[in-house]
Every structure is written in structure tokens, then in C-alpha cells.
């Protein structure tokens, strides 16, 4: 089936008891068993199995072209579940510019259990090769990164991981499966904060991991039921509702962001615009090859960052917009604007931050699906 058909139908059949077209929210903690030791279809307790959750796991797995999905209560819940593959003495390579919560979790919690982490720029494959050790167990990246929109060549990295028996995890939150399907490029596990584009309406927190490997899936299901960071049936249902319109939303995010990035680039008062869809992006060719919609056409999603030169100017813009909302997070239908140095990356030391390009004049846009003319007029007003 095509992507949009899967988005609407995969994982869900009309309710067998009533024919209800929309799958119910199975709001239950336990299930009556047919006889002792015979739960119906494995439904013995709702931390372990819930039909609304099973549906969204199958649904998003299908969109990522994966066999298995395991849903969690947040994107960070997925990251913590991944530690089921680690033990004391192991080494993990992580993309330098990943989500701040990942750094906090690995460095301030998991390092205490004697797991070592290397934070490197994975956009250069050679950096990965020289960092691999005998005990390297996992490689965790985001492509593109937040907020600099730097890409990693997923296919090239997956080959290195296969040669070295390393579990390769790609956080696909920024692209969504509509514009990038890392499993088809050789990744072992895809990770999402479903809070963002998958949910798309800024009304829930969730996470999901997808794989094609039965053994990896078994361990992830074990982590889900054992550590217990499960999503509620209502969150699963909201997500089922959201993925039905993922194609439509992503096309609009992409089209709006392309227009805004181009408009920004033509302004003389903007020092730099980072958007993989611009020809000026140093990895534009890789983006065109790696970030493809289900029909094989390049797409770049809705995230842009731009440098306006100074904190004063950035602050003025952030405080003047009226259609964009000043907020953290991303991927919702409404456009958001923020200053990574003060908000999402405040915990990164200034020197480290500036090395990454995250200056105090850097603004991040999560371009929503409003009328693009209104978004451009809003930015124009705020910048003048």
C-alpha cells in the first residue's frame, strides 16, 4: 500500500464488536481471561499489551517500513529503553549535536553505571571510524540535527556499523517517515519523539522505536513492559488520529518552509540561513539523496534556523511576532519561534555552543501549516 493509505489504515480494523470505524480507546488496566492461564490474544495486563497501543505501534512501524514498533510515554522514554542493550564497560558513540535531554540522560545518569560515551560530529564518516573501539556497542544520531540542520549520511554510517557489529539508532523526529525512512538506508532502529511531527498538534507527549530485527524488538518489548514507560491509551488514540493526516501536514510544512527559507536568504539583514532545501546548504546534495518523500521526491520538512547577528536583534524579533508563537518544541500545525542559546541549549557551555554555530543571534523556526503569506508578513513586520 502507499504511504497515505498505510497512514490511515495500517494497524487498525473497524472495531469487531460494533463496527465502529474509529478504533476505540481501550481504557482498561486488565482483561478477563477465558480460563486460568488463557488470556484473550495475550491480553493479561495493560502495561504489557493494550489494543489501542498495538494499533499505533503497527501503524507507525508501517510508515517507517519496519516490522515492529514499541511505543513509550515520551521521546526520552525511548532513549532510556535503548539502554536495555548496554551493560557496564560498553561504549556508545553519539552525534555531538543531539537533543539536550539525550546528553543529560547519558552523561548525568548512565555514565554512573560505567558506560562510556563519545560525542562526535557524525557528518564526517571518518570521525566515526576513528572513534570505534572494541567495546563500542551503539551509535546514536539525529539527521538533520537541531538547530544547525547538519546531516549525516545514514547509508554510509550503517555500513560501518554492520562491519563492526554496532547497533545503529537514528532519531527521525525532524523528518518524520514522510521525508526519511532510515531503516531502508540500513539503520537498525528508528527513534521518534512522537510529540513532534507524528502527533503534529502540540497536544501530547510520546515516543516510539521501530525496527525490522526480531531480536532487537524482543528486547525493546521487554524494556517496555519491565521499565514501564508506556503511553496511555488516550495518547495512543490521539496519535492514531494524527498520523492519518501526516502526508498532508508534512507536504505543507515543507512547502511553507521552502518559501520562508528562500525569502530569508534574500534579505540582506540576515547573516545566515540553515535549511537543507537551500542550494547554499553545504549538504544539499546529500539531503536531495537521503530525504525523500514516498514518491522519491526530495523534501526538507519544516525546521529552519537563521542568524540575525546579535542577541538584541533576535530578542526584538521574538518579542514582536504575532502569528509565530514564542515557545519550545516543534512539529505542530502552528508555527513556533525560539532562541536555542537561551532555551533548548542553555545548558551547553557558551564556548561549546558557539563552536556548534549556536550563537545568541540564532533563531529557530518550526514552520507550521498556516498560510505562508501570513507567516512571511509576520516575520517581515518583526524584522523591520
Task: Confirm or reject binding of residue 123 to ligand PLP (CB under 6 A).
Answer: no
Q: Is 99 a catalytic residue?
A: yes
Per-position x/- string for 191-210, each x denoting binding to ligand PLP as judged by CB under 6 A, each - no binding: --x-xx--------x-x---
Rounded-to-integer distance, Cα 137 and Cα 159, Å: 15
- Other beta carbons less than 10 A from residue 349's beta carbon: 9
The residue annotated as part of the active site, out of 47, 244, 272, 288, is 47
Size of interface with ligand PLP, in residues (CB under 6 A): 14
Dist CA 166 CA 241 (whole Å):
35
Nearest to 340 by CA among 325, 358, 324: 358
Indicate the SS3 state at residue 117: strand
Secondary structure in 3-state letters for 168-197: EEEECCCCHHHHCCHHHHCCCEEEEECCCC
Active-site residue flag, 217: no
Stretch that binds ligand PLP, among 71-79, 111-119, 252-260, 363-371 (CB under 6 A): 71-79
CB of 319 to ligand PLP, least distance (A): 24
Residues 132-161 that bind ligand PLP (CB under 6 A): 142, 146
**Nearest to ligand PLP of 74, 290 (CB atom):** 74
247 near ligand PLP, rule: CB under 6 A: no
Distance (Å, whole) CA 361 – CA 111: 33
Q: Considering the rule CB under 6 A, would residue 8 count as an interface residue with ligand PLP?
A: no
Beta carbon nearer to ligand PLP, 59 or 74: 74
Residue 303 is placed in which grid cell? Answer: 525546521
Known catalytic membership, residue 244: no
Task: Name the residue nearer to ligand PLP (CB basis): 144 or 299.
Answer: 144
Q: Least Å distance between CB 337 and ligand PLP?
A: 16
Q: Shortest approach of ligand PLP to residue 194 CB, angstroms? A: 7
Given the residues 96, 137, 196, 364, the one annotated as active site? 196
378 counts as binding ligand PLP under rule CB under 6 A: no
| Cell numbers standing for residue 364 | 529557530
3-state helix, strand, coil in the chain (%, to 5): 40, 15, 45
Please give the Cα distance from 264 to 269 (Å, whole number): 9
Q: Is 301 in the site for ligand PLP (CB under 6 A)?
A: no
Looking at the Cβ atoms of 190 and 323, the one nearer to ligand PLP is 190
Neighbouring CB atoms inside 10 A of 330's CB total: 27
How far, in Å, CA of 4 to CA of 246, rounded?
Answer: 8
Residue 168: strand pairing partners: 139
Is position 171 annotated as part of the catalytic site? Answer: yes
Is residue 379 within 8 Å of 260, Cβ to Cβ? yes
Closer by beta carbon to ligand PLP, 6 or else 142:
142
Q: How many CB atoms are located within 10 Å of the residue 31 CB?
A: 18
Which residues of this protein are in contact with ligand PLP, per CB under 6 A?
74-76, 99, 101, 142, 146, 171, 173, 193, 195-196, 205, 207
Active site residues: 47, 99, 171, 196
Amino acid at each position: 500500500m502507499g504511504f497515505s493509505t498505510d497512514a490511515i489504515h495500517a494497524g487498525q480494523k473497524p472495531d469487531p464488536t460494533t463496527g465502529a470505524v474509529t478504533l476505540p480507546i481501550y481504557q482498561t488496566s486488565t482483561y478477563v481471561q477465558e480460563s486460568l492461564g488463557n488470556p484473550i490474544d495475550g491480553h493479561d495486563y495493560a502495561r504489557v499489551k493494550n489494543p489501542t497501543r498495538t494499533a499505533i505501534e503497527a501503524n507507525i512501524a508501517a510508515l517507517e517500513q519496519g516490522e515492529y514498533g514499541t511505543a513509550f510515554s515520551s521521546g526520552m522514554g525511548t532513549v532510556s529503553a535503548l539502554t536495555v542493550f548496554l551493560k557496564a564497560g560498553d561504549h556508545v558513540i553519539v552525534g555531538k549535536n543531539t537533543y539536550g535531554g539525550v546528553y543529560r540522560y547519558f552523561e548525568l545518569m548512565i555514565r554512573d553505571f560505567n558506560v562510556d560515551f563519545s560525542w562526535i560530529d557524525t557528518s564526517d564518516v571518518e570521525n566515526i571510524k576513528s572513534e570505534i573501539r572494541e567495546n563500542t556497542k551503539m551509535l546514536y544520531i539525529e539527521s538533520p540535527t537541531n538547530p544547525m540542520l547538519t546531516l549525516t549520511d545514514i547509508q554510509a554510517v550503517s555500513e560501518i556499523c554492520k562491519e563492526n557489529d554496532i547497533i545503529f539508532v537514528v532519531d527521525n523526529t525532524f523528518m518524520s517517515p514522510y521525508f526519511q525512512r532510515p531503516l531502508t538506508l540500513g539503520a537498525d532502529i528508528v527513534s521518534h519523539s512522537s510529540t513532534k511531527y507524528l502527533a503534529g498538534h502540540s497536544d501530547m507527549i510520546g515516543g516510539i522505536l521501530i525496527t525490522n530485527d526480531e531480536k532487537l524488538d524482543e528486547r525493546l518489548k521487554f524494556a517496555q513492559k519491565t521499565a514501564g514507560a508506556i503511553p496511555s491509551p488516550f495518547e495512543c488514540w490521539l496519535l492514531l488520529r494524527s498520523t492519518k493526516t501526516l502526508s498532508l501536514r508534512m507536504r505543507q510544512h515543507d512547502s511553507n518552509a521552502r518559501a520562508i527559507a528562500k525569502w530569508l536568504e534574500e534579505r540582506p539583514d540576515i547573516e545566515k540561513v540553515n535549511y537543507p532545501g537551500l542550494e547554499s546548504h553545504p549538504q544539499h546534495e546529500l539531503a536531495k539523496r537521503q530525504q525523500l518523500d514516498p514518491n522519491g521526491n526530495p523534501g526538507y520538512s519544516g525546521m529552519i534556523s537563521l542568524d540575525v547577528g546579535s542577541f538584541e536583534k533576535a530578542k526584538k524579533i521574538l518579542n514582536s511576532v504575532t502569528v509565530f508563537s514564542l515557545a519550545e518544541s516543534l512539529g505542530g500545525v502552528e508555527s513556533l519561534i525560539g532562541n536555542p542559546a537561551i532555551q533548548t541549549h542553555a545548558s551547553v557551555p557558551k564556548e561549546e555552543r558557539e563552536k556548534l554555530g549556536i550563537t545568541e543571534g540564532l533563531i529557530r523556526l518550526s514552520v507550521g501549516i498556516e498560510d505562508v503569506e501570513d507567516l512571511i508578513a509576520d516575520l517581515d513586520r518583526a524584522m523591520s
